[in-house]
């Protein structure tokens, strides 16, 4: 049997890197779209990369941007993937208040551009949309597939648009298109400005004597935080079903930001009250107060169940930060292992 081909948008992000690992383990050929940047942005996937000239190479990177529809169509035409995992987005909620128009263009319209490219090329591929619990916004928990949306940020609004675009292409054109409605999922590869990574990093650095204080916003918000490495398995399972459908992925538990802070500082033997200060700039114009997912449908139909809960997640993230601090730093210059983007043909 020929190996399947997957295309991942957002392959350089947290989820993209775990998903690429998973698909390579499963024997897929993996193609990823990455943005051109003046510095390397492939740090999370460098360990997976092999020179594309190597006969064993199964991971290929291509330049592309969600705001460039013709490029997306050309890439789909030449790669002809069996499965498309659409993970790329401007994914930071606080930033979306500063850049609402860009967020709408990238996170919302970007999904339509990709779906329209699939339709116009006539590819019989399966499509995964990275939908988000932010779409539920202020609707009280627990939230499941039937819960009404009430987004509270330009990011949430853009994700609701993309969610409906995905359903519409499924209903209108019969495309196998699914929404994975994922609640917060974190890891040592989380972007450094999301609260879990920011706090885990601060706890480790304060313990090591490298800083004394960390500035945070709203400590009362509650989130359902799971482990990203487990969540990408659910994405893959969604594309292996007979029928396309939408699924919530979550742990079913919730903790406040304050709880997460306490867990991280406790793990390094410090009292968080001595080191955490308030800074208004991290407060959002409208907040999502309480998210707790009900992933019963995913357990029943996909056989997916999380094993890592928030307290263990906090400890593993702090341990990863401590480990990184104790290792000599890697030189910034390109190394042979660093991904060098290669043309597809």
- Is 147 a binding residue for ligand NAP by CB under 6 A? The answer is no
Q: Name which position in 7, 61, 216, 263 contacts ligand F7E (CB under 6 A).
A: 216
Helix axis angle, 310-326 to 195-207, nearest 10°: 50
Active site residue 132: yes
Candidate segments 86-94, 113-121, 309-317, 337-345, binder of ligand F7E by CB under 6 A:
86-94
Shorter beta-carbon distance to ligand NAP: residue 174 or 337: 337
Q: Which 172-211 residues touch ligand NAP, going by CB under 6 A? A: 182, 184-185, 191
Site map 263..292 versus ligand F7E, x via CB under 6 A:
-------------------x-x--x-----
- Is 87 a binding residue for ligand NAP by CB under 6 A? The answer is yes
How far is 68 from 75, CA to CA, in rounded Å? Answer: 11
Cα–chain center distance at 301: 22
199, interface contact from ligand NAP, ligand F7E, none, CB < 5-8 Å by kind: none
How far is 39 from 18, CA to CA, in rounded Å? Answer: 22
To ligand NAP, the closest distance from the beta carbon of 1 in angstroms equals 30
Burial class (CB in 10 A: 0-12, 13-18, 19+), 313: buried
How far is 83 from 128, CA to CA, in rounded Å? Answer: 8
52, interface contact from ligand NAP, ligand F7E, none, CB < 5-8 Å by kind: none
Q: Which residues touch 245 (CB under 8 Å, ≥6 apart)?
A: 178, 238, 301
Classify the C-alpha dihedral 67-69-71-73 as positive or negative. Answer: positive
Which parts of this chain interact with ligand NAP (CB under 6 A)?
A: 10, 12-16, 35, 37, 41, 65-67, 87-91, 106, 130, 132, 182, 184-185, 191
Active site residues: 132, 134, 155
């Amino acid at each position: 049997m020929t190996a399947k081909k997957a295309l991942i948008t957002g392959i350089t992000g947290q989820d993209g890197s775990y998903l690429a690992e998973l698909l390579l383990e499963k024997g897929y050929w993996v193609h990823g779209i990455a943005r051109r940047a003046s510095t390397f942005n492939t740090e999370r996937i460098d360990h997976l990369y092999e020179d594309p000239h190597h006969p064993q190479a199964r991971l290929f990177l291509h330049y592309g941007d969600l705001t460039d529809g013709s490029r997306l169509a050309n890439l789909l035409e030449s790669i002809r993937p069996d499965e498309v995992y659409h993970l790329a987005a401007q994914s930071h909620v606080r930033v979306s208040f500063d850049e609402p128009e860009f967020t709408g263009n990238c996170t919302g319209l970007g999904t339509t551009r990709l779906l329209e490219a699939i339709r116009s090329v006539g590819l019989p591929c399966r499509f995964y949309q990275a939908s988000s619990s932010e779409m539920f916004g202020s609707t009280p928990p627990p939230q499941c597939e039937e819960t009404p949306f009430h987004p509270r940020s330009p990011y949430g609004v853009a994700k609701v648009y993309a969610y409906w675009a995905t359903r519409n292409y499924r209903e209108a054109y019969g495309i196998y298109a699914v929404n994975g409605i994922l609640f917060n999922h974190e890891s040592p590869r989380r972007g450094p400005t999301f609260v879990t990574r920011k706090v885990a990093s601060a706890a480790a650095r304060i313990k090591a004597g490298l800083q004394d204080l960390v500035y945070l916003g709203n400590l009362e918000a509650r989130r359902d935080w799971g482990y990203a490495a487990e969540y990408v398995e659910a994405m893959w399972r969604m594309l292996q079903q007979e029928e396309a459908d939408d699924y919530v992925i979550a742990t079913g538990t919730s903790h406040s930001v304050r709880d997460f802070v306490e867990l991280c500082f406790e793990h390094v033997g410090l009292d968080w009250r001595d080191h955490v200060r308030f800074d208004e700039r991290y407060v959002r114009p409208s907040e999502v107060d309480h998210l707790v997912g009900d992933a019963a449908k995913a357990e029943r139909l996909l056989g997916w169940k999380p094993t890592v809960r928030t307290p263990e997640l906090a400890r593993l993230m702090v341990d990863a930060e401590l480990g990184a601090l104790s290792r000599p730093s890697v030189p910034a210059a390109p190394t042979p292992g660093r991904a060098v983007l290669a043309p597809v043909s």
